[in-house]
Structure 1
Amino acid sequence: MKPTASFLSVAAVISFLPTTKALVGSSWTVTNVPSTGLTDITFPLTIVEADHISGYYFAQQFGFVNSRDVGYTGLQPRPNQNGKPVLHSVFSSFVAGTTTTDSNCAAGADGGPGVSCSVEWNGVYGRTYDLEVKRNGPSLWVGTAIDTVTGARIHIGSYTLPAGVGGIQSRQAGFVEWYPWNGGEPLNHCAHLPYQKTLFGHPRTTHLGSLGTQGVAYEYGDCVGQVAFRTEKLLIGGVENNCGFKGQTGL
Structure 2
Amino acid sequence: MNFSKKYMLTIGLLSFTGFCVAATPTMNWKIPSPEPVNQITFGITINAAAPVDEFYFANQFGFTGGGGIGYTGIQPTKNTKDGKRQFMVLFSSFRKDTTTNYKNCKGGADGAKAGATCRLYIPGELGDTFLFKVKKDGQLLTGTAVNTTTGREDIIGEWKVGETAGNLAVSQISWIENYKMNNSSYHLTCDNKGWPYYEVKFLPPTGNNGKFKGTISTLSKGSDACPGAITWTHDGTGTLVKGGFK
TM bucket, shorter chain: 0.7 to 0.9
> Hey, what does 1:197 align to over in structure 2?
199
Aligned length: 230
Note the C-alpha offset of 1:15: 2.2
Q: Deviations over 1:206-231 (max 9, x none)?
A: 278632001111226743x6252111
Q: Residues 158 and 188 from structure 1, CA distance in 2 versus in 1: closer, same or farther, beyond 3 angstroms?
A: closer
RMSD (Å) for aligned C-alpha atoms = 2.3
Q: CA deviation at 1:188?
A: 5.7
Separation in structure 2 between the aligned mates of residue 187 and residue 198 of structure 1, nearest angstrom: 24
Using structure 1 for the length normalisation, give the TM-score.
0.84
Find the residue that maps to 1:144 and give its secondary structure. Answer: strand
CA deviation profile, 1:125-161 (whole Å, cap 9, x unmatched) = 211011000123x110000001112322111000001
Aligned positions of 1:1-251 closer than 5 A? 13-15=11-13, 20=19, 23-34=24-35, 37-81=36-80, 82-112=82-112, 113-136=114-137, 138-187=138-187, 189=189, 192-206=194-208, 210-219=212-221, 222-223=224-225, 226-234=227-235, 237-246=237-246
Code of the residue aligned with 2:165 in structure 1: it is V
Give 1:9's aligned residue. none
Q: Against the structure 1 CA distance between its residues 240 and 180, is the aligned structure 2 distance closer, same or farther, given a 3 Å change threshold? A: same
> Quick one: distance in 2 between partners of 1:16 and 1:27?
16
What's the CA shift for 1:166? Answer: 1.1
Say which SS state the counterpart of residue 207 (structure 2) adopts: coil
Unaligned runs of 5+ in 1: 1-11, 247-251
Percent same amino acid among aligned pairs?
31
Amino acid at match of 2:195: L
- Measure how far apart 1:189 and its partner are: 4.1
Mapped to 2, the partners of 1:80 and 1:219 lie a distance apart of 31
SS of the aligned residue for 1:84 comes to coil
Q: Distance in 2 between matches of 1:28 and 1:17?
A: 21
Q: Deviations over 1:25-56 (max 9, x none)?
A: 1110110253xx41000001111111001111
1:182-203 Cα distance to aligned partner (Å, 9 max, x none): 1125446455322211100010
Q: Distance in 2 between matches of 1:20 and 1:125?
A: 29
Give the 3-state SS of the residue equivalent to 1:200 in structure 2: strand
Report if aligned partners of 2:86, 2:122 keep a CA contact under 8 Å in 1.
yes
Which residue identity does 1:193 align to in structure 2? Answer: W
CA separation of 1:72/1:121 partners in 2, compared to 1, >3 Å: closer, same or farther? Answer: same
In the alignment, the residues of structure 2 paired with residue 203 and residue 16 of structure 1 have an alpha-carbon distance, to the nearest angstrom, of 24
Shift in alpha-carbon separation, 1:119–1:207, aligned structure 2, 3 A:
closer
Contact 2:222 2:228 (C-alpha < 8 Å) held by counterparts: no
Secondary structure at the aligned position of 1:217 is classed as coil
Contact 1:190 1:227 in 2 (8 A): no
State the alpha-carbon separation in 1 of the partners of residues 121 and 34 from structure 2: 32
> Given the superposition, is the C-alpha separation of residues 139 and 86 from structure 1 closer, same or farther in structure 2, using an over 3 Å criterion?
same
Aligned residue type for 1:70: I
Alpha-carbon separation, structure 1, partners of 2:37 and 2:121:
27
Amino acid at match of 1:74: G
Distance in 1, matches of 2:15 and 2:217, equals 15
Are residues 33 and 58 of structure 1, via their aligned partners in 2, closer, same or farther at CA, if it must alter by over 3 Å? farther
* CA spacing shift, 1:97–1:28, aligned 2, 3 Å: same
Counterpart Cα distance in 1 of 2:190 and 2:69: 28
Structure 2: runs of 5+ lacking an equivalent: 1-9
